Amino acid sequence: MVVSEIPAINITARNTRIIPFEYEYYEPRSLKEALELLDRYGDQARILAGGTDLLVKMKARLVEPRVVINVKKIDNLRYIVEDGEQVRIGALTRLRDIENSELVKKYIPALHDAVKSMGSIQIRNMATIGGNLCNASPAADTAPPLLVHNAKIVLSSVGGDRVLPLTEFFKGPGLTVLKPSELLREIIVEKTNAGSSAFKKVSRVAVDLAIASAAIYVEVEDGFIRNARIALGSVAPKPLRAVKTESLLRGLRIDSREVLNALKTIDEEISPITDVRSTAEYRRYVSKVLVLDALEVAYTRLKGGVHG
């Protein structure tokens, strides 16, 4: 083949092998160094954690940062620890670490379910929990479990830390309240023995983002729901809590028809769209099924049954 016959590469198309633009690259070894870089470059910079979202977007030129700050070598942001009444998870903790964590399985079972369902082992070995939250996809699977566990997040900058409930973090698809100078450092979950939780999702094939997902946390006393928290993914511009449905569940017998009736209210709380993965109509239908399934699993766990 002569050179003139070689087809030109269209670098604006989705070529998955190359990053078709130049950028400055840093590998800070400490949080302090990373925060100083973020402070210096602000919105021109992007954090690279596992890269399983960012690199895909850079290759497709959906984002073109002038500066890439690879934080993966900062070891002290990768941990899952029990600290009094809390479980604290470093933002650079890999999904695979969470999958293998007995602490998460015991105290945040819905998160354990969610992580097991994400991507492939190769992806889970690279991807971080912080990256999943900061990417802010409406389909981010770690979000619904953390929302039903009332998780808090710690955002750090050279000016110090601020702690927010996760409910205040997401603004819309790909959008969060994170400032350009801030890094998500830690996720905090209160331990509880009063209730249990579960996560369910449906996707087109195993390694794909969710068509819809749901997490529930439930406390049950003498067969009656004492407290319930529900969160849904992929059915609105951001992962959300279904607070109206939650309030209707409180006080109902867990095995009653009223639970099914209450779940119909989910329709009012979501705003699904039709896209390549599914239709809005199917998302509406399946959301209620997922919540019901998750409720059954969480209740089985609460009674001491084994579920995954």
Ligand X SMILES: Cc1cc2nc3c(=O)[nH]c(=O)nc-3n(C[C@H](O)[C@H](O)[C@H](O)COP(=O)(O)OP(=O)(O)OC[C@H]3O[C@@H](n4cnc5c(N)ncnc54)[C@H](O)[C@@H]3O)c2cc1C
Closest CA to 174 of 123, 231, 238, 233: 238
Binding residue for ligand X (CB under 6 A) from 35, 89, 148, 183? 183
CA 71 from centroid of its chain's CA atoms = 19
Nearest-approach distance from CB 50 to ligand X, in angstroms: 3
Binding residue for ligand X (CB under 6 A) from 28, 93, 107, 130? 130
230 binds ligand X (CB under 6 A): no
134 binds ligand X (CB under 6 A): yes
154 vs 273, beta carbon nearer ligand X: 154
Using alpha carbons, list the distances in angstroms from residue 221 to 149, 150, 224.
Answer: 19, 21, 5
Contacts 24+ apart (CB under 8 A), 76-83: 76/31, 77/31, 77/130, 77/185, 77/186, 80/104, 82/191
Binding residue for ligand X (CB under 6 A) from 35, 53, 149, 286? 53
141 binds ligand X (CB under 6 A): yes
66 vs 244, beta carbon nearer ligand X: 66
Rounded distance between C-alpha atoms, residue 202 and residue 26, angstroms: 38
Which residues 6+ apart lie within 8 Å of 97 measured at CB? 78, 80
Closest CA to 227 of 293, 113, 148, 142: 148
74 binds ligand X (CB under 6 A): no
91 binds ligand X (CB under 6 A): yes
140 binds ligand X (CB under 6 A): yes
Residues that bind ligand X (CB under 6 A): 46-54, 56, 91, 95, 118-119, 123, 126-128, 130-132, 134-135, 139-141, 178, 183-184, 207, 209
